[in-house]
Chain A
Amino acid sequence: MAEAIETRSNPEPVRITHSDIGAKWWVASALGWSIAFMIFGLITALKFRFPDLWCSVPYLTYGRIRPVHAQGMIFGWLVVGNVAALCYFVPRLTGTKLFSERITINAAMLWNLGVFVGSAGLLLGYNKGKEYEEYNGLSNWILVIAWVMLSYVICQTIARRKYNRMYVALWYVMAFLIQTALVYIFGNIDGLTFGYLHFNGIADALANWFYGHAVVGLIATPGGLAAAYYFMPKAVDSPLYNHKLSIIGFWTITAIYIWNGAHHLIYTAIPLYLQTVSQVFSILLFIPVFTVVTNFFGTVRGHWHKAPDSVCRNFLWMGTLFYLLVCIQGPFQAMRPVQYFIHYTDWVIGHAHLALFGTFSFFIFGAFYYMIPRMMKRPLYSYPMANAHFQFAFWGILIMFISLTTGGLYQGYLWTDPTIPFIETVKAMMPFWEWRTVGGALMFTGQVLFAYNIYKTMTLKYVPAREPVAERAALSAVSQ
Chain B
Amino acid sequence: MNPFRSIWNWILRLEYDWVKVSAGITLFWLIGLIGLVLYPYFVGGKITLGGHKTKMVTLLPTNQKVPLKVVPYDAQELRGRQVYVSEGCWYCHTQTIRTIAVEMARYGAGGIWAPYSRAQEYEYDWPQLMGEHRHGPDLARVGGIVVGWKRDPRTGEMVHIYAKTKYSNGWQYAHLRDPRSLVPGSIMPQFPNLFDQYGRPTQRCRDLVAYLQHLGSAIDWRPQTYKSIQPPPIPIAPGTAVSSSPSPPK
Contacts and interface: CB of A to CB of B under 8 A. Distances in A.
A336 B57 contact: yes
19 contacts: A56-B192, A62-B189, A63-B91, A66-B91, A128-B127, A129-B85, A164-B16, A166-B15, A178-B22, A198-B127, A199-B37, A201-B123, A255-B28, A277-B36, A344-B94, A344-B132, A348-B132, A349-B133, A418-B102
A272 B91 contact: no
B126 A202 contact: no
A461 interface: no
B87 A423 contact: no
Contacts of B190: 51-52, 55
Interface in B71-127: 85-92, 94, 96, 98-100, 102-103, 105-106, 108, 116-119, 121-127
Interface string B121-157: 1111111111111111100000000000000000000
Nearest to B42: A203
A146 to B, nearest CB: 20
A267 B100 contact: yes
Interface in A120-134: 125-131
Interface stretch (A99-107, A258-266, A304-312, A448-456): A258-266
B236 interface: no
Given A171-B21, A271-B49, 16 more contacts: A127-B86, A128-B127, A155-B18, A190-B127, A200-B128, A203-B40, A207-B37, A247-B15, A251-B24, A267-B98, A267-B100, A271-B48, A275-B57, A336-B57, A345-B133, A348-B132
Contacts of A463: none
Given A164-B16, A268-B117, A269-B118, A259 B125 contact: no
Contacts of A174: 18, 21-22, 25
User: Which 4 A-B pairs have CB atoms at the shortest separation, nearest pair first?
Assistant: A63-B88, A258-B32, A201-B122, A129-B85
A218 interface: yes
A190 B25 CA distance: 24
Contact of B126 (A64, A159, A166, A199): A199
B187 interface: yes
B133 A269 contact: no
A159 B16 CA distance: 11
B124 A64 contact: no
Interface in A145-180: 155, 158-159, 164-166, 168, 170-171, 174-175, 178-179
Contacts of A66: 88, 91
A422 B137 contact: yes
Interface string A390-411: 0000000000000000000000
Contacts of A126: 86
B98 A268 contact: yes
Given A56-B193, A272-B55, A274-B40, A427 B25 contact: no
A199 B41 contact: yes
A265 B130 contact: yes
Nearest to A212: B132
Contacts of A131: 132
Contacts, number: 241
Contacts of A207: 37
The CB with the most chain A CB atoms within 10 A, among B116, B127, B131, is that of: B127
Contacts of A258: 28-29, 31-33, 36
Interface of A: 1, 5, 8, 47-48, 51-53, 55-56, 58, 61-64, 66-67, 125-131, 155, 158-159, 164-166, 168, 170-171, 174-175, 178-179, 182-183, 186, 190, 198-208, 210, 218, 244, 247, 251, 254-255, 258-259, 261-262, 264-265, 267-275, 277-278, 336, 340, 343-346, 348-349, 415-418, 422-423, 426-427
Nearest to A94: B18
The CB with the most chain B CB atoms within 10 A, among A56, A345, A418, is that of: A418
Given A63-B89, A268-B130, A158 B57 contact: no
Contact of A178 (B25, B48, B119): B25
A55 B189 contact: yes
A344 B132 CA distance: 5
B54 interface: yes
B85 A127 contact: yes
A278 B35 CA distance: 11
A127 B88 contact: yes
B44 interface: yes
B188 interface: yes
A204 B126 contact: yes
Given A64-B88, A165-B15, A199-B126, A270 B119 contact: yes
Contact of A204 (B9, B48, B90, B127): B127
Contact of A267 (B99, B133, B134): B99
Contacts of B118: 269
B119 A202 contact: yes
Contacts of B230: none
B35 A259 contact: yes
